[in-house]
């Protein structure tokens, strides 16, 4: 059985602290994701949506901040010695380079533009990593009522039922997803890749949430996904896809010493038989 390192090894009474299992961590993460999901649904349905911009380009809502604070507070109360990497409250990506302390990776609303426009493709994403490996991932889509969950070595589920990737083998018949950055000053290489993919695969789907893109690959609704994103966008979904039998990697090298599970540049996640051909195609493009 996979065990998670506890926040402390000795209680105030000098007794050993029971270790939390990966399943217990996953239950805790799922509970938080569902509760945060209820919060963001309530905020969109009942209150006036307040928005702002980060770095003059990236949309953020008051619900992003509220959900991020809610999740972070609960984790700090239960695991005070664990670290947090979250999109809103703690976006320091260098946290991913420290492998000595367990790390939670949080995106309170993946698909903020969808959320602001009233679209349903929105997710709460929570991952738990130890020693640079993501052990647990939960992605909860509150508007569709779907909860994806993966535990390293234990499989992946959707609403408690096992899921598997599509098993697609024909690149010409494959359906893929990708996304585009908020800043538009470096689109040329992205358009070259998109052009190569459109002319090679069946078609493109633009969902607007990287976490759901990847979970849809895990569930066989898509055959492939590629993009460059931040750790909080994909860390939870990646372990779900991995446990659903998808192949996860990159089409350009990962910097030496950086945990592959948390490196978000040039990621590729797809049915196993498609991986080598797509990696070569995207690398050349």
- Sequence ranges of the binding site for Mg(2+): 87, 107, 109-110, 233
Q: Give the residue numbers of the binding site.
A: 87, 107, 109-110, 233
- Sign of the dihedral through C-alpha 236, 145, 208, 73: negative
What single-letter DSSP state applies at residue 16?
Answer: B
Whether 233 is a known active-site residue: answer: yes
Whether 276 is a known active-site residue: answer: no
Q: Which residue among the candidates 43, 107, 227, 243 is catalytic per the annotation?
A: 107
Q: Which residue among the candidates 112, 147, 157, 178 is catalytic per the annotation?
A: 112
CA distance 271 to 168: 6
CA distance 248 to 227: 12
Q: Which residue among the candidates 68, 110, 130, 223 is catalytic per the annotation?
A: 110
Q: Which residue among the candidates 233, 243, 261, 266 is catalytic per the annotation?
A: 233
Q: Which residue among the candidates 87, 130, 213, 266 is catalytic per the annotation?
A: 87
Q: Which residue among the candidates 106, 109, 207, 214 is catalytic per the annotation?
A: 109
CA distance 249 to 267: 6
Whether 97 is a known active-site residue: answer: no
Whether 4 is a known active-site residue: answer: no
CA distance 246 to 155: 11
Whether 87 is a known active-site residue: answer: yes
Residue-wise over 120-138: b if at least 16 C-beta within 10 A, else e?
ebbbbbbbbbbebebbbbb
CB of 78 closer than 8 Å to CB of 104: no
Whether 98 is a known active-site residue: answer: no
Positions marked active-site: 87, 107, 109-110, 112, 233
């Amino acid at each position: 059985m996979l065990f998670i390192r506890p926040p402390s090894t000795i209680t105030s009474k000098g007794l050993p602290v029971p270790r939390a299992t990966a399943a217990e961590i996953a239950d805790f993460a799922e509970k938080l994701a569902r509760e945060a999901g209820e919060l963001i649904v309530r905020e969109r349905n009942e209150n006036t949506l307040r928005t702002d911009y980060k770095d003059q380009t990236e949309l953020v809502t008051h619900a992003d901040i509220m959900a991020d604070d809610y999740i972070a507070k609960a984790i700090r109360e239960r695991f005070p010695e664990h670290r947090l990497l979250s999109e809103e409250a703690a976006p320091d990506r260098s946290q991913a380079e420290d492998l000595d302390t367990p790390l939670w990776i949080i995106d309170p609303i993946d698909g903020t533009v969808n959320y602001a426009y009233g679209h349903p493709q929105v997710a709460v994403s929570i991952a738990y990593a130890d020693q640079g490996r993501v052990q647990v991932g939960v992605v909860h889509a509150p508007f569709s009522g779907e909860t994806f969950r993966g535990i390293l070595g234990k499989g992946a589920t959707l609403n408690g039922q096992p899921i598997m990737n599509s098993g697609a083998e024909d690149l010409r018949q494959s359906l893929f997803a990708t996304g585009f950055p908020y800043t538009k000053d470096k689109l040329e290489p992205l358009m070259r890749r998109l052009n190569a993919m459109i002319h090679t695969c069946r078609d493109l789907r633009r969902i607007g949430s990287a976490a759901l893109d990847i979970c849809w690959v895990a569930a066989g609704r898509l055959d492939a996904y590629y993009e460059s994103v931040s750790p909080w966008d994909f860390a939870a979904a990646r372990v779900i896809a991995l446990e659903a039998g998808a192949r996860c990697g990159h089409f350009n090298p990962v910097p030496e010493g950086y945990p592959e599970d948390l490196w978000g540049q040039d990621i590729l996640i797809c049915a196993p038989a498609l991986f080598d051909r797509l990696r070569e195609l995207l690398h050349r493009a």
